[in-house]
Structure formats: C-alpha cells, structure tokens
C-alpha cells in the first residue's frame, strides 16, 4: 500500500476504533475477554454538536474531560457559523508536542501524545480522524441551518401538528361512538342482570367501569401520539434536536437495555427452558407411575398402594428443589444483593412462622408410612370416635356417628394414642363388650346363659368365634359380668351395642332377674345365697357347665 493510500485509510480505521474506544476507556470489557485483562482507564467525555456525538476526549486534573469536550464543541460551532470559511479548510497542523486541528483562523483542538496512547494510534492519525469527524459536523451544522431546510422542517412541523389535531379529534369522535354503541348493545342485558341479581350487580357501576376503561385507553393512545409528535417536531430543527434525542432515548434506552440483557442472558435462558422441559416430563412420568401403583396396575414388592400419592409428593418436591438449585445460578440477577436479601428474609420468616406447619406435615407423612390408619377406618383419637374421611399433610378429617366433621392436627395425632377399630375387624373380628352387675342371689351359670342368649338374638354379632362371658370382679353387692361378642363391621358398633343392650334387658326381664341389686343397710334374716338345688334352674339346664360359658 502506498503512503498516500495509507494516509487516506488510517483516518477511517481510527474512526472505526472510536466506536469501541469509549467503552474501553470506561472500563467495559468486550464479550468473551478476561475481566482481569483490562484495567480501568482515565475518564473521558463526549464532544457533542447538535445532539450528535463526534468523539470522546480525555482530560487532566486541572482541565477535566467534560470541560475540554464542551470547549471543543463550542469551537466547532463557532467555526461552522462562519460561512466564509469552507469546511474543506479544516485540517491538521503537526507540532513538536501536539498536533493542532484548525479550520482557517479557528483553532479547534490540540491532540497530544497521551490522547494517541489512550486510543492506540499515532498522534497524526488520531488528529486526522478527529478532523474528519469535525469536518462532517461542520457540514451538517451548516446544512441543517440553511433557510431551505429550515422551511422544510417548519412545513413538516405544521403538517405533523395538523395530523395530530385530526387524529385526536377522530379519536374523540370514535370514543363517543363506541360509548353510545356500548349503551345500545349491552344496556338491556345489564339491566336484566341487575334485576336477576337483586341489585347486587348495579348497571351504573358496570357501565362506569366500562367507560372508564375506554377513556383510559383513549388517553393512553393520545399520550403516545403526543410523544411521537414532540419527538418528530423537535428533531426537525438543529436547536431542539438534542431534546428530541433525549425524548427518544427515554423510550428507546430501556428497550435497548432489555434487549442487550436478553442477548447476554440468551444462553442462560435456553438452559433454563431445557431444564424446565426436562423437569416437567420427569414429573409427568413419575405421576403416571404413582397413579399406576395407586390403582394396582403396577405392583412393587413391599410398597403399599396407599403410599403412592404421598411418596410422589415427596419425590416431586425433591425434583423441583433440585431443579431450582441447578437453575439458580442461571437466573438473571441471581447474584444481586437485592435478591439475596429477599431470599434471606423469606428464609427467616419461613423458619419462624412455619414451624407448626412443618411439624404437622412431617407428622402427616409419619402417619401414612406407619400405617396407623387409612381412609374409611373407624378410629378413636383422644375422645373422638369417627371414620377417617380425608388425610392431608397437616390435618386429618374424621366424621363421627353424629355426622360431625372433626379436624385433628397431625402433630396431635402423633403425640396421642390412636385406637383403630378396623384393623382386625375383617379378620379375627372386633370384640364388643358390655358389663352388667347381678346380685349374689342369682346363680352365675344362669346369668352367663342369659347373656349368651342375648348375644345370640343380636343381629350383627358373629356366631364364630362364639361369644364368651368374663366375671370381672366380685363387688360389695353384685357380681360384675362382662359379655364379649365378635363383630365384623366396625361401622355398626353403635347399632350392635344398642341391639345387644335391648336383648339383655329383655332376657333378664323374662326370667325375673334384676340387673342392679340395691344396696342394703343390715344383713337379712336369711343369707343371700343360691341353694344348690337351684344352681341349674332354667335356662341354665342340668349340665354342670352350660355350652359357650368360659
């Protein structure tokens, strides 16, 4: 490449480097580079003319970058305002300590060796690039202030004003028509709805909400049109173009930041999406397996069908927790102090306020895996007797024989005794027992025979195993007999007890035996004993030991 060609090419190369140089000067690291490979550079400031950034310059302690940039911009505007000096007169003048950028008799700036070191170019090349950018700014400055361009801008502003006024009027008229059409089309329906709902739904409020919503939409559209109008009109004139750029930046900057962040986090978002899809399908497969085990179509050795649903909930929570731990480093903002503070606060609040909830949940799982009871069992928890209707993680619902819904916390069940009447009822049978006190003047054989007869008359009492009678104690005035019978249906306990008590009363009345012997104050004239010849009075029979008596 010839020297002349190199002279023409280097300024354009320097201009391309200026697009990256400001970010490097502020310490920004390009994507893929090592953070420790770039050191924080000196502060720089942009040279702005008519809202356009030409280049950035550095400063020193006594003459900071902002002051230097404003001075350079002022000199460029002053030179551009002098129409007698052509833009082609903007050139560079090399010197011993600096290279001067001048335009006729107007000095623009001085480029020092420190500026060239900062940008990574030779001082003359950097000065040529600055001069090229300044020459472009001068040409644009004069072109924008030409009378013809100003008239075109004014005409465009007037046209935009007329268009805005027309659109606003059209929007207002359209809004009125929509309001009227809404009243005509839905007025009667809302009135009938008000009558059917006994004025719970008032027509005025319904229409008020609808009209307020439409009005808010119109104002929102009008505000957007006004914003676009201001940006367009202000950008037509060089004096107000910086304001237009700022207005445009108010909207564009947030979207640019979000777009840049989205591109930066795009690999992480793809990873999170794949993780969510994989986790979702893993949970779906686990759900199908748990449903099959619960229905009995899938059998696992040593695993009960009732364990399928709670086990699935535990494993699902573990899988989701594992996925959350894996996904956390890839979540945007996961390393921010705000998110860490919120996480710590949530953990503290949860640990302080959810201790009882966690205790009930753990107790619920303990009850399930210990097989204390299952849905449909007749149980007694504390003083409550009822059927298990629902087992949740925190509470258990019991329905009593009075059709009451009793809610018992699982932690209370875990710390109290539980009687399950249904565990052995279907196999060996549930033993129901009742006690009667009979005086010593009645032979025990006769009493036991009557109790067994009453058991035989009772519906719901199993014939096998056979009922039996126990003499629990010899009291002061009576012998206490306990009748034990077998029942296969624990849910019929109350009805079986009722029928059994009725039959006992009937049997003892038939044979003239008092169930309760009253107390006495003195001994009778004859002992209250049963003569031997009456030991086998009916219905005891003549056998020494009646059948079925233990």
**DSSP string across 502-515:** HHHHHHHHHTT--S
Question: Is the separation of the CB atoms in 422 and 429 below 8 Å?
Answer: no
Question: Is the separation of the CB atoms in 536 and 445 below 8 Å?
Answer: yes
> What gap in Å lies between CA 53 and CA 487, rounded to an integer?
96
**Which distant-in-sequence residues (6+ apart) come within 8 Å of 368 by Cβ?**
306, 307, 310, 391
Q: Is 464 left (phi over 0), alpha (psi -120 to 50) or beta?
A: beta
CB count, 10 Å around CB of 246? 13
pLDDT given for residue 517 in this prediction: 58
Question: Is the separation of the CB atoms in 332 and 274 below 8 Å?
Answer: no
> What gap in Å lies between CA 15 and CA 27, rounded to an integer?
20
CB count, 10 Å around CB of 500? 25
Of 3.30.70.100, 1.10.287.70, 3.90.105.10, 1.10.3260.10, the CATH number of 430-534 is 3.30.70.100
pLDDT given for residue 274 in this prediction: 93
pTM score of the predicted model: 0.43
pLDDT given for residue 431 in this prediction: 93
Alpha helices, DSSP H, located in 296-433: 308-327, 337-353, 355-370, 410-414
**Which distant-in-sequence residues (6+ apart) come within 8 Å of 123 by Cβ?**
98, 99, 111, 112, 113, 115, 116
Question: Is the separation of the CB atoms in 17 and 133 below 8 Å?
Answer: no
**CATH class as words, domain 360-420:** mainly beta
Peptide bond into 179 cis (omega under 30): no
Q: Which residues of the chain fall below pLDDT 70?
A: 1-42, 183, 185-208, 333-334, 338-340, 346-371, 393, 516-530, 532, 535, 541-550
Q: Is 120 left (phi over 0), alpha (psi -120 to 50) or beta?
A: left
pLDDT given for residue 452 in this prediction: 94
pLDDT given for residue 523 in this prediction: 55
């Amino acid at each position: 490449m010839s020297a002349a060609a190199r002279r023409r090419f280097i300024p354009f190369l320097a201009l391309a480097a200026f697009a990256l140089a400001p970010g490097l000067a502020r310490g920004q690291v390009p994507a893929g580079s090592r953070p420790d490979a770039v050191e924080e550079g000196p502060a720089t400031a942009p040279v702005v003319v008519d809202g356009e950034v030409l280049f950035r310059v550095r400063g020193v302690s006594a003459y900071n970058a902002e002051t230097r940039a404003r001075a350079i911009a002022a000199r460029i505007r002053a030179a551009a305002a002098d129409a007698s000096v052509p833009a082609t007169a903007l050139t560079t003048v090399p010197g011993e300590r600096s290279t001067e950028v001048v335009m006729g008799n107007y000095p623009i700036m001085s480029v020092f060796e420190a500026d060239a070191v900062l940008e990574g170019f030779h001082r003359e090349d950097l000065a040529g690039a600055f001069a090229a950018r300044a020459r472009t700014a001068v040409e644009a400055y004069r072109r924008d202030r030409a009378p013809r361009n100003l008239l075109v801008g004014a005409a465009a502003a007037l046209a935009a004003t007329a268009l805005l006024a027309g659109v606003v009027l059209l929007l207002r008229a359209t809004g009125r028509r929509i309001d009227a059409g809404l009243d005509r089309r839905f007025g009667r329906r809302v009135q009938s709805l008000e009558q059917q709902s006994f004025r719970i739904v008032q027509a005025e409020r319904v229409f008020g909400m609808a009209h307020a919503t439409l009005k808010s939409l119109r104002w929102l559209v009008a505000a957007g049109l006004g914003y676009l109008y201001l940006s367009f009109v202000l950008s037509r004139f060089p004096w107000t173009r910086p304001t237009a750029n700022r207005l445009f930046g108010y909207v564009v900057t947030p979207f640019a930041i979000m777009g840049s962040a989205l591109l930066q986090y795009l690999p992480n978002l793809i990873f999170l999406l794949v993780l969510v899809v994989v986790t979702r399908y893993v949970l779906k497969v686990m759900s199908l397996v748990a449903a099959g085990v619960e229905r009995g179509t899938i059998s696992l050795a040593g695993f009960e069908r009732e364990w399928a649903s709670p086990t699935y909930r535990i494993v699902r929570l573990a899988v989701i927790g594992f996925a959350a731990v894996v996904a956390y480093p890839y979540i945007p903002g996961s390393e921010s102090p705000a998110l860490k503070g919120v996480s710590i606060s949530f953990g503290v609040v949860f640990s302080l306020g959810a201790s009882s909830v966690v205790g009930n949940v753990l107790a619920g799982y303990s009850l399930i895996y210990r097989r204390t009871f299952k849905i449909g069992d007749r149980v007694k928890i504390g003083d409550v007797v009822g059927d298990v209707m629902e087992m949740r993680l925190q509470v258990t619902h019991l329905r009593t024989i009075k059709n009451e819904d009793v809610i018992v916390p699982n932690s209370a069940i875990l710390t109290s005794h539980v009687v399950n009447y249904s565990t052995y009822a279907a196999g060996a049978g549930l033993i129901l027992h009742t006690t009667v006190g009979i005086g010593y003047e009645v032979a025990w054989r006769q009493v036991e025979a009557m109790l067994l007869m009453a058991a035989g008359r009772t519906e719901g009492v199993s014939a096998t195993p056979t009922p039996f009678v126990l003499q629990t104690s010899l009291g002061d005035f009576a012998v206490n007999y306990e009748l034990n019978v077998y029942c296969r249906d624990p849910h019929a306990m109350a009805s079986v007890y009722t029928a059994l008590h009725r039959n006992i009363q009937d049997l003892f009345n038939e044979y003239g035996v008092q169930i309760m012997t009253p107390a006495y104050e003195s001994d009778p004239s004859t002992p209250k004993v049963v003569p031997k010849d009456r030991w086998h009075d009916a219905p005891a029979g003549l056998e020494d030991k009646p059948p079925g008596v233990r």
